[in-house]
Amino acid sequence: TSSIWWAIINLLPIYPLDGGRIAQHVIGIYRRTDGLMEAHAVSAVVGIALAFWCITNGMELNALFLASMVMNNIQTIQGGYGPRNW
């Protein structure tokens, strides 16, 4: 049963999990872009909400795991698409 839970967690729309990559492609189809920045924004919001839920339910280690992914997504958003080409 634990492998089923890992599969469900992997499908959460949090980048870099598989669900985050699926969200990127779905957003890309609708927006006709690569959907990467939007997927990172969705990932940050979902990750913060789930981390808060984990903290309130006594799952601090899971909250730290989610918080690290949230910070990765926020840093990617702040960095944009990388350095500009001159």
- Compute the mean pLDDT over every residue in the chain, rounded to the nearest whole number: 88
Which residue did the predictor score with more confidence, 45 or 78? 45
* DSSP letter for each residue of 17-62: SHHHHHHHHHHHHHHTS--HHHHHHHHHHHHHHHHHHHHHTT-HHH
pLDDT number for residue 86: 47
Provide mean pLDDT across the span 39-67.
94
pLDDT number for residue 78: 87
Provide mean pLDDT across the span 24-53.
92
